[in-house]
Chains A and B, each alone.
Chain A
Amino acid sequence: MGVVSAPADGFALADRVCSAASRNAQPALDIDPFSIEYFEDPYPAQELVRESGSAVWLPRYSVWAVGRYEHVHTILNDWQTFCSSRGVGLSDFAQEKPWRPPSLVLETDPPEHDRARAVLARVLSPVVMKSLRTQFASAAERLVERLLDLRGFDAIADLAQAFPLSVFPDAVGMRADGREHLLPYASVVFNAFGPDNELRRQAIARSAPHVAWVAEQCRKENLAPVGLGAQIHAAADAGEISRPEAETLVRSLLSAGLDTTVNGIGAALYCLARFPRAWELLRANPMLARAAFEEAIRFESPVQTFFRTTTRVVTIGDIEIGEGQKVLMFLGAANRDPRRWPNPHVYDITRVTSGHVGFGSGVHMCVGQLLARLEAEVLLAALAQRIKSISIIGMPKRAFNNTLRGLDALPVMIDPA
């Protein structure tokens, strides 16, 4: 279907296809959710996944797809049956060597997972967020001030990227040089969850300098003595985790802490520029900044998909799935499931969004969600206070990634309040 997609050759497809063929009464869909064509407009295919059954076979990749909120939520909250230790991308770690040493949180299961997770949860806790709030809010105000001078700019590069880049690396305590590796590195990580297509191949082929820089940046001696990175290493000093584990946990922060917030903030800006009523509500009450962000996460689902692998035979709705099968969760489809969300295709910042799966759910739910919310809240509040209107003045350019949904460029014009 897509111009850059390719079958996932190199995987043990044959026996999985056979096991599916024996259950040929079950729904199957010939879609490629990792193709450029799909990324351009994912909603018709997502609706097909959601409406064809509680689980749908995708013969192209020999995986099960799940798009209904109820089942995605159930899978996310049942790590015993739907494990992460065999990888949360298409690649099955039981059959294939991972492209990098696995993450200690994302690609593990309890109880092993919980020890590392506890360290990150503490480093990214509400208490720590309180300590970052004032400096983040000042940085947001300074950035909005500069943009008011420009009037016309790219809301992705100059705002959605510029803001997290101005606060996150410093909060972690990163070196000043080489930060330009961060976004390309994250792009590799999130492309690598997809199939062996052009996006993934090219990303990995170009990854070496980014991987090398990130590995160095994760070391204790390359992190500031005060900061989120140092706090992770303090857990190693205390003997709670080993030094190499601390480095791998810092790597999680660098992999998942920047590109995701860029896409989350970008999603909120894109929504607010397209839905003037929502923008007016936010202007009238900047306290809605957090709600505006949360609804943008539901509406756009910047992290679109993750896989799990079944540890036993299991029934999803009325579909039986064998052991050792990859299950592709469509977080974006679940977040627009009309069974769960009234008017799901409307961006409504007064909606009760609690329970959306844009940050996942269960033991692997995004550990940096509080940091993402803090960044977005202070930025959107600063915009709402200083800007009267935000208008799109050129064609938005979509970014293509196997996991992340977002824009490469969003030309906008702002008017001061």
Chain B
Amino acid sequence: MITFALSMLLLATGASFVLGRRRVLAMVERPVDLQSLPGYYGWYTALWCLVPGFVVVLGWMGSAPWLLEGATLNASGIDLASRSEAEISLFMNNVKNLASGSIPSLPDDPALLAAAERYIELRGRGAAIASGFVALFAAAGFSYAFRRLRPNLAARNDVERVLRLTLMACSTLAVVITFGIVFSLLAETLQFFNRVSPIEFLFGTHWSPQTALRVDQVGSSGSFGAVPIFTGTLLITAIAMLVAVPIGLLSAIYMGFYASRRVRAVAKPLLEVLAGVPTVVYGFFAALAVGPVLRDVGSAIGLSVASESALAAGLIMGVMIIPFVSSLSDDAIAAVPDAMRNGSLGLGATESETIRSVILPAALPGIVNAFLLAASRAIGETMIVVMAAGLAANLTANPLEAVTTVTVQIVTLLTGDQEFDSAKTLSAFALGLVLFFVTLCLNLIALAVVRRFREEYE
């Protein structure tokens, strides 16, 4: 129905364009006598038709689900006060599923069937009314604009003003997304903190989010001490950085100062391929190839290595961020003025002495920026750890044991069928907020560092 209303609106917009253009051309002898190009009068009329209609469509799309739900519940005659929120939302879900016909085998509850019928009826009526309003607003806008058409109307200026506003609105979306992230995470997190104290969450050392379905079951409360998750994340990130930083930095140095043209022509694209490999592929590789190999090697030398050890996930995550570190370090090194390097070489320093004592210190802010962004990437990386790291929240610093991470927990808590309002699912949002906040800080510091750095050399 929405698609139908929208396509009718678009058709009407097209027609308005043609009509507006034609009308204004009929008013003058030569097109030159018009204040703007004829097409702009077409756009002027078209926009006056499209914008009011579109606003109605948006309003309808935003409010319809809520209005429909409320109206259906009221009409269904079930006693809202006696039922819990979860029951009502389950009921509504069943009604919707029935209405869309996606689940044919539901319990033959007469109230449910009646509500579904009512829902379908209301949905149809609502759509009809809304379509009527769309048509009305579009027609009103069109006739207003159509009557205002004159050869001296500054149509171009009006049209361009609208376009400029559109451009501006688009650019604010970036800010809207950030606020959207913060608010959606914050809202759920606050609900979570209503049930679990923030102190326990941030400082507790026991994590087992399994809440029982019924209150009288054992262990119904679950425990939400996130410290083992944070340490697990840090452990894996540290291993990844230990792999990626030296290899990435040395690669960048080698490419920048030593590699022949031919080596560079081969190695650079290969590093880019490494950057382009999807993380799910790395995860598969870590779980299937690296994990078992590490375990076998471990048992051969008498160490017990968990098959989902932090080491396997960390190593592969390190490989994943190598190209990231090397390309950012490369930029930082390339930004150091050649004069500095020549000065040092001219004094008789060897290339490596120059790099170590002149280039690297000068490029340090850029390199730090690379490390920070790489760390932020490693902390937020999901698929490798989901596939290769464990689920159990062990508080350990031993890389040979299995640990879990923030992202792994978010995925396990939120996939599969889960009721939405339990502490278990809400805790995922709290973890998400922590993740967002930490990576935000790292990114902002990195941005500030790189800005400083740029100012220095510009």
Does B bind A? no
